[in-house]
Every structure is written in structure tokens, then in C-alpha cells.
A and B are shown apart, each in its own frame.
Chain A
């Protein structure tokens, strides 16, 4: 039995609405510290989805998403503290600035592919980190920026949660639409076989740059959201270790599945919190889990779930779906 496109759209949309409803009920069900944790997961999920546009759909392995994330966070922070900008301007400017920086960085990076692309993204991310760290007069250097003036209404954990949820939901929906659009399809075909795609007159580099810029845009939003959530920003937001967190989140959830980073971020934050609570050697256990993932669960949790679901469906229907 084949599903037509409308059916598929509706079933995916149904899932998304259910999840969204569940998320909206969270503050009524869970304690404040759990709500705060889920808030963090949401922001990480957005960052993961933004990265996955390049990673899973574009096949472009970037070692430096944290750089653009930090640009977003610092943009909001600096606009609010140094220039006293109105709150929404500061938040909405962040992705724009991140996208601009992303355009510059991306323009250089997409000129190369595979490991050279990855090394370029790493070099740029480290430069962003260095600039944040060194430019003390502008960014407050290693002390970070604290006491960021966010509206008092967002002091309450519940309110900041809904604020983040609103932004994250809208952004993920937009990303979903992008991925399902012809642009998204072309991007995937570039990932599968860049040479062939070039033969059918697709400007590969331009598409890759577009993916890079869109990714940067949403990474910027994620960074800005985290700035508002935490009330402070630090140079470590740009460090390549944070980039690795984002990559692991995508991998854990499954890079070939849109919902992957969302699942991945929840599981990752949960696991790191549980492990860290109980042992000082949490890095060891995290490493083991990652190795396990890479060797046995390459498609991540979402990939595994999707596989199981389709098998289950096949068994019920008795035919190949």
C-alpha cells in the first residue's frame, strides 16, 4: 500500500502537533529544574537540526558549528549590554549577523570538500573563538558577558520555557519545510553524488553555500536563545569541543532522519547529566557510548526506530510498503 503525499504530510504533521502539545504541557507536569533541562534540550535540538541540514542532508561535515552559534549568542549579548538595543531587535538580529558571518566563512569553506572542508571550518571556528577571547574591549574576553538585561517577565522558568519553545517550534518547522522543498531534495542529491548533480546543471557550490548560510542562520537563533536562557555568554560557546557536542547529538539521534537531532539532544543531555552525577570518569563512559553508536547504531536512535517501525508495518500489511 503506497501512501500518497498528502497522507505522508498529514501523518508527519500529526506527530509534530502531538509532540508540540506534549511539550506545551511540560511545565504543568514536571518540576522546575526538569523544565529548565528540557528548555536546554530544545535549544540544543534546534542547533542540531540546523547543523544537520549541512551534515545529514548536505553531507558536509563541519567541525565548527559552535562558532556560528557563539556569534548568535554574542550578537544578542552585545546588542543588549553595550548598545542597549530593544530586546526583540537584539534577538532577531542575531541570526542575521550569524548568517552574514556564515556567508563569509562558508564562501571560503565550500571551495573545498571532505577533510579539507572540515579543517577549514575548524580553522574558522577557532578564529572566531580567538576573536571573542582576545577582543576584550568588545566582548569582555574570557570573563564573558554576564548580567545580560533580559525582560523581567522572562525571569520565570515557565515563561522562558515557552519563549524558547515558541522560537524552536517555528524554526524547526521552517527547517522541515526547507528540507522537504526542492532545495532540500537537490541538496540530498548533491550529498549522494556531487559529480552527477553537477552534470545536470546544478551549481553545487552555490547550493552548499546556501545550506551553510541557512545552517548559520538557525545556529545563530539557537545561540541567541541560549544567551537569553542563561543570561550570560562565554567564549567557550565557540570552542571546537562544543562543536563536537553538536555532532554527537546529530549522530546519536540519526543524521538521516529529520527528527534525529531532536531525539539526540534529549538523550545526550539526559545521559551526560546522569553519568556526570555519578562518576568523575563521565568522559570515559560517554566515549564508550559514542563508540558503541558508531559501530552498531550508525543511523542513530531515530534511524533504528524508523527501521523497526517500517518492519512492524510490513509485518502487519504483509507486503513491501
Chain B
């Protein structure tokens, strides 16, 4: 394989990985603070995709429709997340993990069918927005600008989130609640509100990913199932609750998917799961997580 081919392959893998990073980061943050593994996270991502389609088609007259959508849709998704958290999730924090699992699974069914009801069953597409709809020539390979834009988005969100968590007082509060919720509560922090906020943030990230994805792919029912499995793999590799872990995990998975196709595909489908098992056995807190 030539260096050009290698770079092209790597970049394409990473660009897809960046969208997955956004979803996985949301899942990881939610798990880190709320200790809930939200199975419906992929479905929330899918809602983001549908909203992207809806808004871009409604706003098609306005120039820069996609960019307005990028601004609005994830916020809408975050709002939906907030409603879910307040109405449903709050009641099961104290329960065993099984109930959380089953409840979030039920949300997959409910939200998924709601999407079917509102949007129908056909595939939805969204055009690549100006100005990132061109191509760059990378060593003879015509590479879409949009994919590079996605890499940029991923890096930007990672840096912004890391800064938010590390340097702002909001971030400090979240860290405090994550670390020791009773203590934080005793210090006067409104823990339930922080939980809602974190869940909304996680949902926002999923919605953002869902909005960024349609221009380079297609919005379809059932995409939530595929995404949630990829997310599990990423957060296990990187570490449940770790933001840099999600970033690293997404890059690893992206590269694995990009270069895995050069290996016999018979086993390629199982590779990510085998990697997941290896990490869970040897180092369950992932590459960058903290041992409990």
C-alpha cells in the first residue's frame, strides 16, 4: 500500500470515527456522572438525524439552512433528553442496573417508533452544505472537504469539552458530583439538576453527531442499533466515563474499521468484540479510564 493510499484510508477512518466520538462522548459522560448506561443513546442520535432532515428541508429557502439546523437541532435533542431524564430516568437511579437497562431499552422502542410515525419509513438524505461541499486533492485521491470538516468538528468539540470540564466552575461542579454525589449534595450542590444537565449535555452531543452525519450518509430507521454497539466498543476501549478515552477509542475504532477491510472479512466483524473482551478482562476501566 502506498503512503498516499495509507493516508487516505486513515483519514477516511478517522472522519467517521469523529462522528462516533461525539456519540460515545455523550454516552461516556452520562455513564461517568449518572452511572447509567443509556441504551437509547443511539436512538437519540437517530432523532438528531431526523431533525436535521426536517429542518434542512423546511428551511431550504434560507441560505445556510444546514448551519442553522446545526445550531438548532442538537439543542432540540438536548431538550428531549432533559424531558426523558426528568420524567423517567430520575425514578430509577436507585434501582438495580437491570431496570435501567430495560427502561432505556424500552425508550429505544418508543422513540424509534415515534420516528417512524413522524417521518415514515423511507430513507432521508441531506445535501452537503456550502462551503464544505467541495473536494481536496490529497496525493491523487479526491477527498471530500466535508470529511475533513468532520475531523475538525471532532477535535474542536473534544478541546471545548475538555476545557469546559477542567477550567470552568460548571465543570468543577460536574466533577464534584461525579466523584462523590453525597458530599457534593452536602456542600449545597443541587445534584438532581446537575444530573439533568449532564444528561442534556450527553444528549446534545448525540444530537450534534446525528446532525453532522446525514450529509455524508443517510438517515434510516435502525441506525440507532448499529451506533449503540459501536459506542459500547469505543467506551470500553477508552474507558467508561473518560472523555479523552472516548476520543482515543473512537480513533482506534475508526482506524480498525478502515484498515480491517484489508484483512479477511470473515473475522473482521468479530474483531471489535474480541478487542472489547480483551480490554474488559485485562483492563476493564479501559485505556484511559480510572479503576474504581
Contact = CB atoms under 8 A, between A and B. Distances in A.
Interface stretch (B154-162, B189-197, B210-218, B270-278): B270-278
Given A61-B97, A119-B232, A133 B269 contact: yes
B242 to A, nearest CB: 15
Identify which of A55, A111, A131, A294 gathers the most chain B CB atoms within 10 Å of its CB. Answer: A294
Contact of A294 (B92, B240, B267, B274): B92
Interface of B is mostly: helix
Contacts of A134: 266-267, 269-270
Given A284-B113, A284-B114, A119 B280 contact: yes
Contact of A120 (B91, B103, B110, B280): B280
A314 interface: no
A20 to B, nearest CB: 30
A160 B109 CA distance: 33
A241 B77 CA distance: 25
A133 B92 CA distance: 36
B49 to A, nearest CB: 18
B112 A283 contact: yes
Nearest to B92: A294
Nearest to A105: B277
B30 interface: no
A129 to B, nearest CB: 9
A310 interface: no
B116 A281 contact: yes
B141 interface: no
Contacts of A120: 277, 280-281
Contact of A126 (B88, B97, B273): B273
B147 to A, nearest CB: 28
B98 interface: yes
B101 interface: yes
Contacts of A241: 225
A287 B92 contact: no
B236 A119 contact: yes
A116 B280 contact: yes
Given A114-B97, A283-B113, A290-B103, A295 B88 contact: yes
B284 interface: yes
A111 B281 contact: yes
Contact of B273 (A61, A130, A251, A298): A130
Nearest to B228: A240
B108 interface: yes
Identify which of A127, A133, A287 gathers the most chain B CB atoms within 10 Å of its CB. Answer: A287
Interface in B105-123: 105-110, 112-114, 116-117
Contact of B102 (A124, A126, A135, A251): A251
A294 B280 contact: no
A26 B162 CA distance: 63
A248 interface: yes
Contacts of B136: none
Contacts of A251: 98-99, 102
B273 A291 contact: no
Given A244-B105, A284-B110, A287-B108, A118 B277 contact: no
A287 B109 contact: yes
Nearest to B116: A281
Nearest to A281: B113
B269 A287 contact: no
Given A111-B281, A127-B274, A295-B88, A247 B109 contact: no
Given A112-B280, A112-B281, A295-B91, A290 B101 contact: no
Interface string A263-297: 00000000000000000011110111011011100
Contacts of A135: 266
Nearest to B265: A134
A59 to B, nearest CB: 8
A115 interface: yes
A255 B91 contact: no
A130 B97 contact: no
B101 A123 contact: no
Interface string B260-292: 000000110110011011001100100000000
Contacts of A114: 97
A127 B281 contact: no
B270 A127 contact: yes
Interface string B229-251: 10010001000100000000000
Identify which of A59, A127, A288 gathers the most chain B CB atoms within 10 Å of its CB. Answer: A127
Give the 4 A-B residue pairs with the shortest CB-CB distance, closest first. Answer: A287-B109, A284-B113, A287-B110, A290-B106
Interface of B: 37, 88, 91-92, 95-99, 101-103, 105-110, 112-114, 116-117, 225, 229, 232, 236, 240, 266-267, 269-270, 273-274, 276-277, 280-281, 284
25 contacts: A61-B97, A63-B101, A111-B281, A112-B281, A116-B280, A118-B101, A120-B277, A124-B277, A127-B277, A130-B270, A131-B270, A133-B269, A134-B270, A244-B105, A247-B101, A251-B98, A282-B113, A283-B113, A284-B110, A288-B110, A291-B88, A291-B110, A294-B95, A295-B88, A298-B99
Given A130-B269, A134-B267, A291-B110, 12 more contacts: A59-B96, A61-B101, A118-B101, A119-B276, A123-B277, A134-B270, A244-B102, A251-B98, A287-B107, A290-B109, A294-B102, A295-B88
